[in-house]
Structure 1
């Protein structure tokens, strides 16, 4: 099929009146393919349409995938996708969190095979993926020395990707979506992973549209069904208060990991406790400092949270550390979230301070040598506690399998205790809508208790007549 066509039909301007704003749409067809451009004023729309009509009258060919006359095509439209992907990474990098940087690189590396001109001479899939995520799509490492196979892979991909303008083609966009839905082994990726990658592709297309490399971001036009994402928690993961107390005791009782090393267990009892009693995320607990504690000798206190440190990997952080220290999720720098500390947690935190003190910078939780907590250490200590406390069947089940499940248990306890969902959402650090999605099954299970409270408020008992 030719890339250009003289089969062009240009429609009259469409006027679309919204509740608050009227827009104008220029619509035209090239070789039967519809193109349109939405504009804010009729004068602007008329100007665009006039340019298209003039080009058609001059006998100019129109590009079949971009929809524009050849004279309007900018040189940048021929920018290879690999070059554009690197440009997009560079645009996002300065303001992106470390995990977002890694996520952007992963999404573009997943999409790139759909934008190859050929597979002739193509490097091994794993080598190509490593070259893209480890160097090309990482601003920190792009100019670093590379192994020979990585150098060769990057030279090959730089010469063998299609023009970015091909992303104006719905069929090509479908290929990209199909590609990001697969893992390296060809199996279907998890729904949450696909959703995250699709969001990156959408944002990338917005940038391509901004640079006039595509006619428009047409991703929403693709009739493509994404895998279903399950956001509600599995109630089987939620531990009860008795199990929580036993598990925390088991964490504190761990004496030896691998002789002759000391165990991190005793120091991490309070780490897991702040997740269970105050719903902290693991990355928030990692940054909890002594000045954040507003605790009486006993009873109810408060935790004042302002920092988080998710694990992203040293290659993606500005500091070169594995944890990316930054403000709380979806909050501005310096913004504080206040969370209550119930009496059991207050006691555990006082015991932690008395026995283990704090790091040089005031952090409560650190490695045995004072550094950042490693994800592997947290997982190992928690697994040891589960193995010690739970039955064989419980250990094999999802019950409290991840430390993050302690946060779920906390929020579930708040809801079961009658705390309003707005307050639960504020303490947990997300919106009420997200709370209702994640804890939908828990909230549904509380209906009978809610019914009983309503009956008590109405003064109604079984057997009463309607007019009583």
Structure 2
């Protein structure tokens, strides 16, 4: 095999020689021109994106076929299991840690179902552990495999259905039925099913791109996932008095002043509607904190928490850009004097880290979600009545963000401004917070009544 790193790409163009709409991807490898025609523009764009990503990460391309080695690996796969591992190898370098975790989680649910009836099948927990911890990591990142896990992987290799079997409806139904259940056999949550189905769809689309399947078989199956809940439950939203009481009680809990150290973190979630991962990543250079009046936070970094096996750095909090934004995008958030004062006091008392981070653990590290969640639960017990503690009210620190956005909408801040501050699209904002808009029905009823009596 002759390989080359000399790769050039052209823009996608419509295939003018065919009456049926199709699109041509053109590129050059080692001076030899290559092209591939796909039925839809979406497929063509996805295929070109995969080629570009392979070139960007420095992958060698086969001169004969014009394909990067990761794609050749996938095309040589004969079973679903082999193809899934090749898909992981291809996607891993340019996927976020959370996305890697989601891919592994979904495929660990689906792959055991796409197997033949073969003796020696390991139990469900062993198969899942073998996939999550070993088999579905990229080739260069797999740890030494214990004998029990190695036996489970060998069983999967031998029992896996042929990739061609996924072209039939019954094969896809096996996968769909599997992702609808938890490991204990109970129904999975609707949002979980939706996320796992999205991974399955992406894997099948990749098989179509490589012409291993004629079409995505999911499109032929009449299978409706359970409806997901996108709207925020208004029962979780605290009012300003409750929020202030919770922030005060935070300072009284946690050993060695841990709650006091975290109060400003929670305040950022309430007064600025920051996501927890954004608050954890806040740096001094992001803060404009005048002595009087309103200040501003300029958010461009998020530190989502995930198991270290999914990150490149080996840290549990990999630095990322903003959610649903480009890496260079920023989000300015005006903050009221109350939060300005809280942040100025926090910085004066605790300083900042070497990298400018405003919030640090006692040892200087990134604050773990388990640490601030534990403090939050203790504060709820002090700040709320027993009935409220048993209710969904402010059950998670994230609910402070929901309270902030709900407050802004209910006091009449225009939706585009709220969306900009919260980092949402306007359509998503109004859909997600539709049930948290208090008083609007009464206003509408009054206006309708007035119109009817004119």
- Tell me the TM-score range normalised by the shorter chain: 0.7 to 0.9
Number of residues of Structure 1 aligned to a counterpart in Structure 2: 391
Q: CA RMSD in A?
A: 2.4
Q: Secondary structure at the match of 2:20?
A: strand
8 Å Cα contact 2:233-2:436 kept in structure 1 = no
CA distance in 2, matches of 1:24, 1:333: 34
**1:400 counterpart residue number:** 394
Q: 1:306 to 1:463 in 2, by over 3 A?
A: closer
**1:433 counterpart residue number:** 427
1:349 aligns with 2:343: yes
Residue deviations 1:151-199, cap 9 Å, x none? 1111111111011111111121112111111100111000000000011
Q: Secondary structure at the match of 1:339?
A: strand
Q: 1:225 to 1:307 in 2, by over 3 A?
A: same
**2:198 counterpart residue number:** 199
Q: 1:159 to 1:349 in 2, by over 3 A?
A: same
Q: 1:175 to 1:360 in 2, by over 3 A?
A: same
Residue deviations 1:270-325, cap 9 Å, x none? 10000001110000000001000012112211100000011111110000011121
Q: Secondary structure at the match of 2:362?
A: coil
Q: Secondary structure at the match of 1:352?
A: helix
8 Å Cα contact 1:77-1:212 kept in structure 2 = no
CA distance in 2, matches of 1:23, 1:119: 44
Given candidates 265, 270, 274, the residue that maps to 1:280 is: 274
CA distance in 1, matches of 2:237, 2:248: 18
Please identify runs of 4+ aligned residues in structure 1 that moved more than 4 A.
37-40, 75-78, 449-452, 461-465
8 Å Cα contact 1:77-1:165 kept in structure 2 = no
**1:154 counterpart residue number:** 153
CA distance in 1, matches of 2:99, 2:404: 27
- Rg larger for: 1
Unaligned runs of 5+ in 1: 1-20, 26-36, 41-74, 456-460
CA distance in 2, matches of 1:370, 1:279: 25
1:320 aligns with 2:314: yes
Given candidates 262, 282, 305, the residue that maps to 2:299 is: 305
1:376 aligns with 2:375: no
Cα distance, 1:114 vs structure 2:
2.3
- Normalized against structure 2, the TM-score is what? 0.81
Q: 1:154 to 1:39 in 2, by over 3 A?
A: closer
1:23 aligns with 2:23: no
Cα distance, 1:77 vs structure 2:
7.7
**1:358 counterpart residue number:** 352
- Summarize the alignment of residues 69-468 of structure 1 with structure 2, pairs less than 5 Å apart: 76=75, 79-139=78-138, 142-254=141-253, 256-257=254-255, 262-443=256-437, 445-449=439-443, 466=454
CA distance in 2, matches of 1:218, 1:159: 24
Cα distance, 1:449 vs structure 2:
4.3
Q: 1:446 to 1:163 in 2, by over 3 A?
A: same
Unaligned runs of 5+ in 2: 1-17, 23-36, 41-73
CA distance in 1, matches of 2:293, 2:441: 31
CA distance in 1, matches of 2:20, 2:400: 50
Cα distance, 1:78 vs structure 2:
6.6
Cα distance, 1:446 vs structure 2:
2.5
Q: Secondary structure at the match of 1:419?
A: coil
CA distance in 2, matches of 1:155, 1:465: 78
